[in-house]
Amino acid sequence: MDPLALEYSSIADFDVGVTLGTGSFGRVRFATHIKTKEHFAVKILRKVDLIKFRQVEHVKSEKAILHALSQDQHPFIVNMAASFQDPCYIYMVMECVIGGEFFSHLKNARRFTNLTARFFAAQVVLIFEHLHAKDIIYRDLKPENLLLDKDGYLKITDFGFAKIVSFKTYTLCGTPEYIAPEVLLNKGHGKGVDWWTLGILIYEMLAGDPPFVDEDPVGIYRKILTGKVHFPRTYDDYAKSLTKKLLTADLTKRYGCMKRGASDIKRCNWLVETKWEALLKRDLDTPIKPELSSITDTSNFEEYPEEIDIAKPPIYDGPDPFENI
Amino acid sequence: MSDITSELHKYLEEKNINAIFLSIVEEILHNKPENPIGFMVNFILEKYPEETKGFGKQQLQERTKAPSFVSTEVSSNDDIGETDSECSSVNTIESDDASSLLCDELSISEKSPVQKKRRESVCAEQLTEVTVAESELKVIEKSETEAARILYILKNNVFFNHLDEYQMKTVQDVMFCVERTDGDVIIKQGDDGDNFYCIDNGIVEIFIDSPKTGERNLVRTCGDGDAFGELAIMYNAPRAASCIAKGNVRLWALDRVSFNVILMKTTIAKRKSTVDILLNIPVFCLLTEFELNTIADTLQEAIFEDGTVICKQGDRGDKFYLVHQGTAVCTKSVADGTSVEVARLSTGAYFGEIALLTKQPRQATVTADGSLKCFSLDRRTFNRVMGPLREMLMRSIDEYAKSDAQ
Ligand SMILES: Nc1ncnc2c1ncn2[C@@H]1O[C@H](COP(=O)(O)OP(=O)(O)OP(=O)(O)O)[C@@H](O)[C@H]1O
């Protein structure tokens, strides 16, 4: 479509439909561009809450990074078509990824077979390789932030914690079960955190639960820092070997962080047979094909009560920190 | 072996039939179900969700109502749809018990899919390098024994034991004293968390109020040397429990901002001073900032007692050293067998850098004179992390040889 058709748009140019998902500061809704009839997912964030919870910088950076990434149209990254704002909200218009949350598919399957897990892990490797080449670290990999497109390929969404970092950054962020030890220790962290989270994701896909779990976050963090991982017996040996290499606290030994970067991971026994180029071209058979009756079928998403969000949030009574973005 | 048996064997192996049967038998023995056939069907449906896709969906739905191999503990839970804590109570996977292979396997099938809940992200407030550089830390005076007690507690806490000596001392310096009397609330469940506490003296009881029933339960009693509220040094989250003084209590507290400022400040300062030194070393001065930062962060602390020989003339070296604190003496043996002192190395000096490039024998013997703290890096680690750089350095070694000769 003509990029200009969207560039100067406002939310009034869209027919806003059902909620596809919710986050801490707003929700993502299905939307149809009235003029072109094209379908999108619009992330709608409440400014007051962003200001209150000091997320202004994160959202600015999310928008900037999504914008930059969308220039390349990477097959496994959610592309942003436009973004705009009004006094109450920030809007990000993204391509709609209709197959539902990867999280729900994993939840329904309980856990994946070795082949299925391998197929998805390989895509995450390509995503991180692409991001890291641009000095972007993602920092929040988890099934909740991955979506399945209509064919069953992954798309990563939610760049709220992504950051352009040439060497190291310091702010602790992530999702408790997925946080890397160096992040917890507050000593500065870099691209290596993403490879750690890949290790957790692989484990969660194959075992059904992440390796470090506890009732409260402090308990999870203790286990992460202690670093003991127990593998269920069904866990594939090659997968186990890669998982261990990724869940290595020593950054001089963690796969992905050494001189050969991602190629250590791509060439490990578990992934070596992956047809990387075909995968990137989306030329492979996908293990999970979302059931869809049409391209507007949102039944793969959970249902959310709609009335809660109807009332407009108050307008922040100070200078709008988003004014010039 | 006949063709048929070998074909059979091949099939069994390919399809992993033995393992499948074994796991079924194990499950049966473990659960001793009344109706083994139904149990097996359910087990297979749950254990092989993808292979059985489309099969017996109906039974699967019924299974949630009927007792099955899903542990009774879970299926008897009446608010199964919104369980929060159960989804993480899978400690059996973490079990240290060496004989728990079977348990590991079981613990996975014990959990029903409905327990999986979306997990929220967490985030600390951002500290920029500028705010950190400008912030001032308030040092709280303490007696020697108080300081020693705090250090002891920190060293035994997994969230602090990674700090280096200087960081540990700085953290100890900013910790402030809090005194409370019987019944005082130190932490209130649900409040913002800003401080971490360790108990100098006294007893603190930790309670959790159930949000549903309002019931208050004592979950832990802490005494001298115990610590609580660690989460607060990482990010602001509502307190998960209330902590109440039992009798008079004396505590040491640490706030998140100070802690993070200390870590960031010391980490950056240490890296910078290391890079400044590296920049003056001929083999490193050609490298990029990123490469130098990486080397700085890869260096390991090495502590030597007085008189320790760190490297010996003639030995094949494999480590590079930076002197951080203390003095090292370099000696060379001369023709008559005696050795002469050729140099004394102090903070900022370095030796052994050639070992990162070639396996040349050491040119001198280096010995610690008094206790000595160094940073070191061995060739294998260097190659693993910096790889291509090594080749780059090889190219510049000629230059080094030249500059050395002059
Ligand atoms: N492009 C998209 N297409 C379809 N659904 C999407 C898309 N982007 C997001 N969603 C849905 O919306 C949910 C929330 O999106 P996202 O994680 O970006 O929001 P958030 O407010 O940043 O959340 P969080 O609080 O977890 O950071 C996702 O989990 C997903 O279900």
**What separation in Å is there between the alpha carbon of A77 and the centre of ligand 1?**
13
* pLDDT score of B334 more than 90: no
Delimit the domains of chain B by residue range. 2-261, 280-405
* pLDDT score of B195 more than 50: yes
pLDDT value of residue A241: 96
Q: Residue B393 corresponds to which amino acid?
A: L
Residues of A annotated as catalytic are 140
- B354 CA to chain A: closest CA distance, Å? 20
Quick count: other Cβ atoms within 10 Å of Cβ B31? 19
Q: Please check whether residue A211 touches B, CB under 8 A.
A: yes
Among the listed residues B182, B177, B217, B230, the one whose alpha carbon sits nearest the alpha carbon of residue B203: B182
**What separation in Å is there between the alpha carbon of A43 and the centre of ligand 1?**
7
- What is the Cα–Cα distance from A126 to A128, expressed in whole angstroms? 6
Task: Give the atom of ligand 1 at the shortest distance from the alpha carbon of A95.
Answer: 1
* pLDDT score of A265 more than 50: yes
pLDDT value of residue B207: 93
Four-residue CA torsion sign, A285, A291, A293, A298: negative
Considering CB atoms only, which of B108, B298, B388 is closest to A207? B108
Q: Which of A24, A234, A252, A304 to mutate to test the interface with B (most CBs of B within 10 A)?
A: A252
Q: Are B372 and B326 in contact (CB under 8 A)?
A: yes
Ligand 1 within 6 A of A158 CB? yes
pLDDT value of residue A210: 96
**Packing angle, helices B289-298 and B379-386, rounded to 10:** 140
- A322 CA to chain B: closest CA distance, Å? 18
Length of chain B: 406
Phi, psi of A178 (to 5 degrees): -105, 0
- What is the Cα–Cα distance from A320 to B329, expressed in whole angstroms? 63
Give the alpha-carbon dihedral of B27, B31, B32, B36, to 10 degrees. -60
**Rounded to the nearest 5 degrees, what angle is found at the Cα of B125, between the Cα atoms of A87 and A216?**
110
B319's tokens? 């480590």
Length of chain A: 325
pTM, entire model: 0.81
Among the listed residues A59, A72, A4, the one whose alpha carbon sits nearest the alpha carbon of residue A26: A59
**What separation in Å is there between the alpha carbon of A95 and the centre of ligand 1?**
12
Q: Considering only residues 165 to 204 of chain A, which have any Cβ-Cβ distance to chain B shorter than 8 Å?
A: 166-168, 170-177, 184-188
- Tell me the CATH architecture of domain B2-261: Sandwich (2.60)
Atom 28 of ligand 1: nearest residue by CA position:
A21
User: Helical H runs in chain A?
Assistant: 3-7, 47-52, 56-70, 102-109, 114-133, 181-184, 192-207, 217-226, 237-246, 263-266, 276-280
- What is the Cα–Cα distance from B305 to B307, expressed in whole angstroms? 6
pLDDT value of residue B78: 31
Secondary-structure breakdown of chain A: helix, strand, coil percentages, each rounded to the nearest 5: 35, 15, 50
In this prediction, residue B126 has a pLDDT band, given cuts at 50, 70 and 90, of confident
Q: Are B344 and B329 in contact (CB under 8 A)?
A: yes
pLDDT value of residue A311: 67
Under CATH, to which class is B280-405 assigned? mainly beta
Q: Name the closest residue on chain B to residue A175, using Cα atoms.
A: B121
* pLDDT score of B132 more than 50: yes
Pair type for strands A39-46 and A26-33: antiparallel
* pLDDT score of A117 more than 50: yes
| Inter-chain residue contact B113 with A110, CB threshold 8 Å | yes
Highest mean pLDDT among B66-70, B91-95, B126-130, B239-243: B239-243
- What is the Cα–Cα distance from A305 to A301, expressed in whole angstroms? 13
In this prediction, residue A282 has a pLDDT band, given cuts at 50, 70 and 90, of very high
Fold: same for B2-261 and B280-405: yes
* pLDDT score of A292 more than 70: yes
Pair type for strands B122-123 and A173-174: antiparallel
Ligand 1 within 6 A of A97 CB? yes
pLDDT value of residue A7: 65
Q: Are A230 and B94 in contact (CB under 8 A)?
A: yes
Query: Is B353 labelled as part of a ligand binding site?
Result: yes
pLDDT, tens digit (0-9, with 9 covering 90-100), for A211-260: 999 988 999 999 999 999 999 989 999 999 999 999 999 999 999 999 89
Mean pLDDT, rounded, for B18-27: 78
- A34 CA to chain B: closest CA distance, Å? 33
* pLDDT score of B281 more than 90: no
* pLDDT score of A135 more than 90: yes
* pLDDT score of A308 more than 60: no
**A196-210, B12-26, B358-372 — which is least confidently predicted?**
B12-26
Highest mean pLDDT among A63-77, A121-135, B162-176: A121-135
In this prediction, residue B282 has a pLDDT band, given cuts at 50, 70 and 90, of confident
Domains of chain A: 11-95 (3.30.200.20), 102-280 (1.10.510.10)
Q: Are A152 and A289 in contact (CB under 8 A)?
A: yes
In this prediction, residue A154 has a pLDDT band, given cuts at 50, 70 and 90, of very high
B266 alpha-carbon distance from chain centroid: 19
Q: Are B329 and B366 in contact (CB under 8 A)?
A: yes
Q: Please check whether residue B306 touches A, CB under 8 A.
A: no
How is residue B124 annotated by DSSP? Answer: P
Quick count: other Cβ atoms within 10 Å of Cβ B141? 8
Query: If you write DSSP's letter for every residue of A223-259 in order, what string do you get?
Result: HHHHT-----TTS-HHHHHHHHHHS-S-TTTSTTSST
| Inter-chain residue contact B113 with A215, CB threshold 8 Å | no
A143's tokens? 């099934």
Give the alpha-carbon dihedral of A79, A81, A86, A90, to 10 degrees. 0
**What separation in Å is there between the alpha carbon of A23 and the centre of ligand 1?**
6
* pLDDT score of B375 more than 60: yes
